[in-house]
Structure 1
Amino acid sequence: MTDLAHLGVPTGPMIRVHGGFANRMYRLDTDQGSFAVKELNVVDRRSAYRVEDVFRFERAAFAAGVPMPEPISADAGVLVHRWIEGEKVPEAPVSAAYAFEIGAILARIHALDVEWTHVSNEDPTARDWPELAERAAATGQPWADELASHVETFLAIAHFVDTCERPGPVVLTHKDIQPWNLLAQDGRPVVLDWELSGMLDLSSELGSTALSIAKGPGYDSIEPAIFRAVLDGYVAGGGALPPPGPSWFVFLIGGWLGHTRWNILRCLAGVEATTGPDLALSHESAWNGVRGLPDLFGRIPDLEALLG
């Protein structure tokens, strides 16, 4: 791991904090305070990490008063932030006040004037779902039968992700405001885990964020008032809403599709990797995607009704 001498003299061993879906997190206490040390998975990342761009963006957001851990340092393998205490946000509808403030935070983030040097040039969505299903069956994966039964749906999802029209505007944003990337301090939000930041169609950022904090673990407990509170907070913060349509949910679906495929590949390898999530967590993520994505895809018309 990177030399952490700039953080001070340790007052105890660095402690692993379990639960990360992509990387590995540790807490380090020193004579200069407490720090969150994130060891990035650089072995099989789904996309390159833009270290300098993201760190500059984080510093600007922190300076602008966005509630978040203070960014301390970053290199190609390790991110360091000031440790921040707070309550974990469960995967359940948040309060209307919390949702409203999330919307206002997004408006503040989108108003930042930060140079972003990377121009996204995304590859077409993978269409190897029949082959993955065959490999899953051949290796006896516990979710193999369910994956096989949904192959055509996964191909349809990939087609939707590649062809859905995005109305714009494109904004520089966090891209991953989900319950597991949030804390609550005195009932107010703190935004964590900025490493996926980048340019994104505004409708996709708003739809992904609002839906993620307005629902429970599935899609049977969506609270429309909480979804709308995010949008109301965005407008109150000076933002303008894009037109309604399926683009509000395409990034959420595409991101989950890519995350599911990535975890399936890790499961098919069948070995405990030295970086990224533990194998058991990859199996859990694969299960969740195989079961949940077809359901989410089938609900797009219902989700669009939230925008009315």
Structure 2
Amino acid sequence: MDLSHLGVPVGPMVRVGGGFANRMYRLDTDQGSFAVKELNLLDRRWAYRAEDVFRFERAAFAAGIPMPEPISASRTTLVHRWVEGEKMPEAPVSPAYAFEIGQILARLHALDVAWPRVEEDPTPADWPDLAERATATRQPWAGELTAQVETFLAIAHFVDTCERPGPVVLTHKDIQPWNLLARDGRPVVLDWELSGMLDLSGELGSTALSLAKGPGIEPGVFRSVLDGYVAGGGALPPPGPSWFVFMIGGWLGFTRWNILRCLAGVEPGTGPDLALSHESARNGIRGLPDLFGRLPELEALLR
């Protein structure tokens, strides 16, 4: 990757841990510190629109959204100014933090940024075949997957048929604890690659639930995201299962993608390590059926 536009390095580029889809590095130069992301081009789950996302990021940054400054974007590499902050644990955030995230979403959805029309593919329903291949290749989670095949087929059907009430907004689409920092106790939003058009209920439900869940769900934190959204000038869509279909569908696709990486049985050259793919596959196989079964409980959060 050509990083000459970032200045003269003052040390070697260092890989940063984590990364569920791509690989991240820190580069310190005479012009500052930068987060350099090497995009996984081997088996992406969607076509990455580098120019469109970069334009959206620049507009969000110019509007004062708390985020790393976007520096450059190419087909293979994303560069942002490095931001120091505290990593967020996968646990309920404070109500004040959740309220501010809601306000950020309202400001983000008010931006006027052009976006190309994108057609979505049907949700894959090849779970019986995946279970057979997992058993044949002796994957450590094969038995658990086989036992849940019917549930995964039901989840895929739900994702394909759930009615979305609209409106559709241009947004981040992936505000999760691992894509957030706290700087002086306030949010910084990272990792904008998934940005695109999304039904508003799916964005709000996914964000509020991700910030409210831990061993249980904190209803007050969930509600704080929605209160912040209204305080920021946004209007809430009607309640219903559509609030959670995006999160469930995203986790379903992520689980399937990691299963396919595990079935290949080789360490990929980009993207997450094989061990992390095994962990993500196992977490999805165990966690998704539980989340799907709790839909009535989740919908009760909207009352």
Give the TM interval when normalised to the shorter protein.
over 0.9
* Residue 201 (structure 1) aligns with: 199
* Residue 229 (structure 1) aligns with: 224
Distance 1:98 1:76 in 2: 34
1:241 maps to 2:239: no
* Residue 275 (structure 1) aligns with: 270
Which letter does structure 2 place at the counterpart of 1:87?
A: E
* Residue 34 (structure 1) aligns with: 33
Name which of 237, 246, 260 aligns with 1:251. Answer: 246
Which letter does structure 2 place at the counterpart of 1:197?
A: S
* Residue 153 (structure 2) aligns with: 155
Distance 1:3 1:22 in 2: 21
* Residue 299 (structure 1) aligns with: 294
Could you list the per-position Cα deviations for residues 52-106 of structure 1 after superposition, in whole angstroms to 9, with x for gaps in the alignment? 1100000000000000000000000000000000000000000000000000000
Which letter does structure 2 place at the counterpart of 1:88?
A: K
Distance 2:127 2:224 in 1: 37
Distance 1:48 1:104 in 2: 29
2:212 counterpart SS class: coil
Which structure 1 segments of 5+ residues have no match? none
Could you list the per-position Cα deviations for residues 242-298 of structure 1 after superposition, in whole angstroms to 9, with x for gaps in the alignment? 000000000000000000000000000000000000000000000000000000000
Distance 2:280 2:120 in 1: 23
* Residue 61 (structure 2) aligns with: 62
* Residue 107 (structure 1) aligns with: 106
Which letter does structure 2 place at the counterpart of 1:174?
A: H
* Residue 3 (structure 1) aligns with: 2
* Residue 135 (structure 2) aligns with: 137
2:197 counterpart SS class: strand
Taking the TM superposition and a 5 Å limit, the aligned residue runs for 1:45-56 are: 45-56=44-55
Which letter does structure 1 place at the counterpart of 2:89?
A: P
* Residue 166 (structure 1) aligns with: 164
1:180 maps to 2:150: no
Shift in Å at residue 303 of structure 1?
Answer: 0.0
Which letter does structure 2 place at the counterpart of 1:234?
A: Y
Shift in Å at residue 221 of structure 1?
Answer: 1.2
Distance 2:290 2:30 in 1: 50
Which letter does structure 2 place at the counterpart of 1:79?
A: L
Taking the TM superposition and a 5 Å limit, the aligned residue runs for 1:118-133 are: 119-133=117-131
Distance 2:97 2:62 in 1: 22
Distance 1:254 1:159 in 2: 10
Which letter does structure 2 place at the counterpart of 1:236?
A: A
* Residue 43 (structure 2) aligns with: 44
Shift in Å at residue 139 of structure 1?
Answer: 0.6
* Residue 71 (structure 2) aligns with: 72
Shift in Å at residue 18 of structure 1?
Answer: 1.5
Which structure 2 segments of 5+ residues have no match? none
Distance 1:23 1:52 in 2: 18
Could you list the per-position Cα deviations for residues 210-250 of structure 1 after superposition, in whole angstroms to 9, with x for gaps in the alignment? 0001011xxx4100000000000000000000000000000
* Residue 16 (structure 1) aligns with: 15
Shift in Å at residue 120 of structure 1?
Answer: 1.9
* Residue 215 (structure 1) aligns with: 213
| TM-score w.r.t. length of structure 2 | 1.00
**Structure 1 runs, 4 residues or longer, greater than 3 Å off:** none
Distance 1:272 1:17 in 2: 18
1:28 counterpart SS class: strand
Distance 1:215 1:302 in 2: 13
Shift in Å at residue 184 of structure 1?
Answer: 0.2
